[in-house]
Amino acid sequence: MFDVAIVGCGIVGAAAAYELSRYRLRVIIIEKENDVAVGTTRANSAILHAGYDPEPGTMMAKLNVEGVRLAKELCRKLDVPYRQCGSLVLAFTPRELALLKTLYHRGKENGVQELELLTKEQTLRMEPSLTPGTLGALYAPGAAIVNPWEYCLALAETAVRNGAELRLNSPVIGIERLPGGFQLSLPTKKVQARYILNAAGIHADKIHNMVASPSFQILPVRGEYYLLDKSAGNLVEHVIFQCPTRMGKGTLVAPTVHGNLIVGPNNEPVADGSDTSTTRDGLEQVAEMACKSVPSLDLKESIRNFSGVRAVSDQEDFIIRRAEDSAGFIDLAGIKSPGLSAAPAIARMAAALLEEAGLTLTEKTDFIDTRRRVRFRELSLEEKEALIRKDSAYGQVICRCETITEGEILDALRGPIPPQSVDGIKRRCGSGMGRCQGGFCTPKVMELLCRAEGKDPLTLLQDTAGSCLLAKETKGGAADV
């Protein structure tokens, strides 16, 4: 029997796994899809918010501020791309200008160290491409951008390296109570654990209701995005927000850690939480909203559109608590924004709840708390030279747009959580993320996969299970000529 079963390996599940893997516990992470970080975690704005937005006194407020404090150090230790670029919330009307003051005070109350209200002139000097109608801004130098799926991968990989078990392709179909714990039914196996952490994102209510009486509902909200070419990447230097509304933080324009520009999201309640399609109306809405902040935005520079569904719940705050009628079952649910920001703090709170519930946490002495990844493109000339001399695979460039080498792809294949698809490789080393969106490198990555792993090309997946890339061979080879 495991000590803890974590359902879901998005950013919350991975952070929890990382946190628990510090202790002498038997931990298993159970993930529905064929990779980690493929739910909301991979399709969001990738921002670590400063913390002025949540209502003071809420869990969201406390965990946002603590989470981003922990994130800075975590990203450094675990080699996750992170950039503290700061953020600006723009005001276009006097009412919004007043709202900025509210946010400022809220931030101060939440414990945000650095916050400043800027005049129109100061704002436009800081960001010349903003709309001249800007009346002022709330400047938060502490806001940062991150690679959200690498953040999740880094946490999950470290947990696995420290002994946590990970089961992919394992949707939880049922949960029964057992003396001293639970039994989770997966498609081909049953797993037993004393405690459960429910980090199932948009499916959290379904998981909760398997073993406890319903106490919340997930009301998924979809947001669509544009990702612009790197040539547009420095249109703005900070994250540019608009004033928040009831629906959320609104449409933003922000640089990404890769050097692209991300534009979005909108907010559309959807019936099916797994519906991550983009829509013409949604994208138009995003375009219209975003151009309010940055009129010179040229969406023809877009290289990709995507959408992410947030696990908004019917409750205002995060749902981080023990299920009332099911001792040992802890919900980490309704983690909408600032979920990414709060993740490591949510994990610590989860550990505290587990301890309260009777789990003994004894720290490991041999906890591996670092992670390093080779990024060929970022090395100096001398470092590149030395690396290739050490291993010639780093001399073979596979992804031309992003300069990703065979060595890095092989590293991805040999990591603690091996990828199961071409996109899984993309998430680990960046191949295919550039302006040709894999047009050039996908056949090469596939070739490499076949060579390195002996796979049959016809079984290779683009991303999820069932997303086969190829249909059949063109000609059989039988008779010799």
Partner 1 sequence: MTELVCIVCPKGCRLFVDEQKDFAVTGQSCPRGEAYGREELISPIRTVTSTVRIEGALCRCCSVKTDRAIPKSLVFEAVRQLDGVLLHAPIREGQTVIAQVCGTDVCFVCTRDMEREDTYESVYSGLGSRDY
Partner 2 sequence: MYELIVVGGGPAGLAAAYAAWESGLQRILIVDRDQALGGILNQCIHSGFGLHRFGSELTGPEYAGRYIRMLQHTDVEVALETMVLEVTADRQVHMVSRKEGYRVLEAASVILAMGCRERTRGAIAIPGTRPAGVLTAGTAQRFVNLDGYLPGRRVVILGSGDIGLIMARRMTLEGAKVLCCVEIMPYSSGLNRNIVQCLRDYDIPLYLSHTITEIRGRNRVEQVVLAKVDERRMPIPGTERVLDCDTLLLSVGLIPENELTRKAGIKMDRRTGGAIVYENMETSLPGIFACGNVVHVHDLVDFVSAESERAGKAAASYVLHKEEPQSQVLELIAGEGISYTVPQKIHPDKVGQTIEIFFRVTRPRNSSRIRVTSNGTLLSVFKREHLAPGEMEHIRLPRELFEKATGSLELSIEEVIG
**Chain positions contacting partner 1, by CB under 8 A:** 474-481
Strand-pairing partners, residue 185, are 174, 190
Q: Is 226 in the site for partner 2 (CB under 8 A)?
A: yes
The CA distance from 28 to 184, in Å, is: 11
Nearest CB to partner 1, comparing residues 76 and 389: 389
Catalytic residues: 49
- Indicate left, alpha or beta for 46 from its phi (over 0: left) and psi (-120 to 50: alpha): left
Nearest CB to partner 2, comparing residues 363 and 481: 481
How buried is residue 440: exposed, middle or buried, by Cβ count under 10 Å (0-12/13-18/19+)?
Answer: middle
Residue selected from 169, 183, 209, 403 as contacting partner 2 according to rule CB under 8 A: 403
Residue selected from 442, 445, 448, 449 as contacting partner 2 according to rule CB under 8 A: 442
Q: What angle do CA 80, 149, 310 make, to 5 degrees?
A: 135
Instruction: Choose among partner 2, partner 1, none what residue 480 binds, the Cβ cut-off being 5 to 8 Å by kind.
Output: partner 1
Shortest separation between residue 389's beta carbon and partner 2, angstroms: 6
Nearest CB to partner 2, comparing residues 205 and 406: 406
Beta strands in 403-455 (DSSP E): 404-405
What single-letter amino acid sits at 218?
I
Nearest CB to partner 2, comparing residues 170 and 305: 305
DSSP 414: T
Residue selected from 296, 315, 439, 453 as contacting partner 2 according to rule CB under 8 A: 439
Helix H or strand E segment including 75: helix 59-77
What 3-state class would DSSP assign to 5? strand
Tokens of 66: 């603590």
What single-letter amino acid sits at 339?
G
Which of the stretches 116-124, 147-155, 168-176, 398-406 binds partner 2 when contact is defined by CB under 8 A? 398-406
The CA distance from 151 to 144, in Å, is: 13
Please identify which residue in the block is written with the tokens 């990414």. 340
Q: What is the dihedral of CA 92, 97, 99, 105, to 10 degrees?
A: 140
Residue selected from 95, 246, 372, 475 as contacting partner 2 according to rule CB under 8 A: 475
The pattern of x and - marking residues 244 through 283 that bind partner 2 according to CB under 8 A reads --------------------------------xxxxx-xx
Q: What angle do CA 455, 162, 431 make, to 5 degrees?
A: 40
Residue selected from 400, 415, 416, 452 as contacting partner 2 according to rule CB under 8 A: 400
Shortest separation between residue 472's beta carbon and partner 1, angstroms: 12
Shortest separation between residue 443's beta carbon and partner 1, angstroms: 10
Q: Are the C-beta atoms of 143 and 48 separated by less than 8 Å?
A: yes
Q: Are strands 2-7 and 189-198 parallel, antiparallel or unpaired?
A: parallel
Instruction: Choose among partner 2, partner 1, none what residue 396 binds, the Cβ cut-off being 5 to 8 Å by kind.
Output: partner 2
How many Å from the N-terminal Cα to the C-terminal Cα in the chain?
61
Which of the stretches 248-256, 290-298, 348-356, 391-399 binds partner 2 when contact is defined by CB under 8 A? 391-399
Shortest separation between residue 52's beta carbon and partner 1, angstroms: 57
Instruction: Choose among partner 1, partner 2, none what residue 87 binds, the Cβ cut-off being 5 to 8 Å by kind.
Output: none
Residues in touch with partner 2 (CB under 8 A)? 226-227, 276-280, 282-283, 299-300, 302-306, 381, 384-385, 388-389, 392-393, 395-397, 400-401, 403, 406, 435-437, 439-440, 442-443, 447, 457-458, 461-475
